Structure 1
């Protein structure tokens, strides 16, 4: 069972490439809770998740409760191509000081692929292995960016079951997805917090300098 602190976001402002994207964003993600992010492409979902995961600094506001609690899964699966499925999970389990990888193998039906090199897996199999990594981190807050990409219906169901089990243990999940996962989750429309157009126009886009 997890004993995480709530993840509390207060008046957050974030930017992408130096251009303000979202501002005035506040929410609380409590243990056992799930929050689904919705919004058009480019609305700032990925930027928000990367900020919460500590991969970039916010422009302003506060994030409380993220330290050493978050396991982030982005668009890349984070796999080592020349390691087998089992070796990949053992590697990440050791990084996070965890032990048993069997629950992760079982949750995503990876036992038949256990000895296959990650680089030889299909896109869907790689995604399943990438998501299985979450189960060996021991981290209570999952921050997930479009986690069902490349998954078929059966694998989406596996993922939804894994999230439910995680929540049932007192974990929490923040998920950017357009898929209905059948979770008891609140929905946050990020477009509601779009940055002030004046501030956007006055910002420099460092990505193009």
Structure 2
């Protein structure tokens, strides 16, 4: 298994959001997170990525195998498209910048400052950095936001190629990506129970 979590409880703002989540992710597989907005999908992904501690439970995975892509695109506006990807390639020890540009049809924009891109173009650039990161496990939070139908198809093709190459992914999305390799995890049944109030708490309600 590339990533495994057992009896995981996660918090947002110090308040438990999900509890008792267990999952396992093998090479070549994807897990799609479902659930209404605010259900805890982002919090779960951030916890799996090591960006915040778990309240309890255990996460197992080899160090240096994860990359997280959230709502922010992780790009520098003053740098061009190619410079952004070259920067990330240097940080992650060198993926193929040209392959990333080609995968998301960014060649006509390669010398354009990222600040001058549209929202959809910025999202394509942000997703292209996953290719240069060369990490086995992608943790993706609503990756198709701001993408049109053509760009969404590009993303789905890149994701399928990543899985076919032995990678894995956990994707929080409301979009159907047509992945035969994907299982689904609905986070709603893992919603944390409200903390019991003691007499002191009730005095202030």
TM bin (shorter chain)? over 0.9
CA contact (8 A) 1:11 1:60 kept: yes
- How many Å apart are 1:99 and its aligned residue? 4.3
| Aligned-residue CA RMSD (Å) | 1.2
CA contact (8 A) 1:52 1:66 kept: no
Partner of residue 189, structure 2: 192
Q: Given the two structures, how large is their TM-score scaled by the length of structure 1?
A: 0.92
Partner secondary structure for residue 68 of structure 1: coil
| Structure 1 residue runs of 4 or more that deviate by more than 3 Å after TM superposition | none
**Structure 1: which 5+ residue stretches go unaligned?**
203-209
Q: Given the two structures, how large is their TM-score scaled by the length of structure 2?
A: 0.94
Partner of residue 23, structure 1: 19
| Separation in structure 2 between the aligned mates of residue 58 and residue 11 of structure 1, nearest angstrom | 10
CA contact (8 A) 2:8 2:22 kept: yes
Partner of residue 63, structure 2: 67
Q: For residues 168-187 of structure 1, what are the structure 2 equivalents within 5 Å?
A: 168-184=164-180, 185-187=182-184
Q: Deviations over 1:111-145 (max 9, x none)?
A: 11000000000000000000000000010100000
Partner secondary structure for residue 195 of structure 2: helix
Greater displacement, 73-82 / 99-108 = 99-108
CA contact (8 A) 1:70 1:141 kept: yes
**Structure 2: which 5+ residue stretches go unaligned?**
199-205
Is 1:110 matched with 2:106?
A: yes
Partner of residue 201, structure 2: none
Greater Rg by CA: 2
